[in-house]
A and B are shown apart, each in its own frame.
Chain A
């Protein structure tokens, strides 16, 4: 595969290095002359000095026969224009743009860029995995036992919403103690339904927390 990489910063440099190691043909286009020398000293003469947003520079880099043009400069607007010039003027196979503002993903897609990569989005998605969207909050650990009181809020889309308590499969041992519904405490029985918006207060063990979350909130 032949890949033109616009931008020889850290992302561009390591991308070029990895692609070369995998046996691909690579040209890096970089605006800063000193940076060009550094990359050349390290990776050989695969680097070109110039502004990749300029038609003549992209042409010289070989954009016409590129399977892939990747724009990884630090500026979203430059990456957009580089990919558009590659598409419109040189019909480059595929274009990938690095973006800083995650909101630009949708905008770039509408403007014809095949793919975008946002470090901001990647970090965000990792953070979101760490924080479960559906919360089961431990309220109180009972003395030195592993028994605890937890609270779960039944949200729209929960598998148990509308079901009677007796029909909900709970991990053993678990007791549903109270449902808080619109500010009132309900001491439920087997045929009491669980509704969206209910705060479910339960006794369980710390080992059962994940299973209880799964049972009540699904996820």
Chain B
């Protein structure tokens, strides 16, 4: 499998390193070349400095032949834009996006983007430990009814 990972922060570097260790082909993108120091010392993939919302950069990363794409930069909007390009322009079969803002997550699921919100997952985990009786109610979080 060939993976393109956009964003080499803690999550991006870990995902890229584990995928590479499992024997996959991986290209990881970041705007900041020093971010690649977070990768496994024996990371066998490719690193590319560039902006993943630029279609030329995505092409250079090999997006046209990628089996999967993950957007894990700090910017929700950047992740969402790159993911939509990967999915709808370059037809990457599997695309997953990190979105911090749970409200935005709903919107983008409406647009066909599979999104993971560490905010929601993290809060759930805390609730599970702090107050297991309220844990199941996280699904009907009143905030998500807004908008």
- On whether the two chains bind one another, the answer is yes
Chain A residues engaging chain B, CB cutoff 8 angstroms = 53-56, 58-59, 75-78, 80-81, 84-85, 88-89, 101, 103-104, 107, 110-111
Q: What is the predominant secondary structure among interface residues of chain A facing chain B?
A: helix
**CB closest chain-B residue, reference A55:** B147
Given A88-B110, A89-B147, the answer on whether A53 and B77 have CB atoms closer than 8 Å is yes
Q: Is the CB of B55 within 8 A of A107?
A: yes
Interface centre among A56, A78, A85, A88 (most CB of B within 10 A): A85
Binding site for A on B (CB under 8 A): 53-56, 75-78, 80-82, 84-85, 88-89, 101, 103-104, 106-107, 110-111, 146-147
Cross-chain contact A56 with B77 (CB below 8 angstroms): no
Residues in A with CB closer than 8 Å to B84 are: 80, 111
Distance, CA A76 to CA B55, complexed state (A)? 12
Q: Which of A54, A56, A58, A77 contacts B80 (CB 8 A)?
A: A77
| Other-chain contact of A59, B77, B78, B101, B147 (Cβ < 8 Å) | B147
Q: Chain A residues with Cβ under 8 A from B88's Cβ?
A: 110-111
Cross-chain contact B146 with A55 (CB below 8 angstroms): yes
A77 and B78 within 8 A (CB): yes
Min Cβ gap A51→B in Å is: 9
A2, chain B: closest CB distance, angstroms: 19
Given the complex, which residues of B lie within 8 Å of A88, measured CB to CB?
107, 110-111
Assuming A77-B78, A77-B80, is B54 touching A101 (CB within 8 A)?
Answer: yes
Q: How far is the CA of A145 from the CA of B20 in the complex (A)?
A: 74
Closest to A112 in B: B111
Give chain A nearest CB distance to B91 CB in angstroms: 12
20 residue pairs of the A-B complex, CB under 8 angstroms, read A53-B104, A54-B101, A54-B104, A55-B107, A56-B147, A58-B147, A76-B81, A77-B53, A80-B77, A80-B80, A81-B76, A81-B77, A81-B80, A84-B107, A85-B107, A88-B110, A101-B54, A103-B54, A103-B56, A104-B55
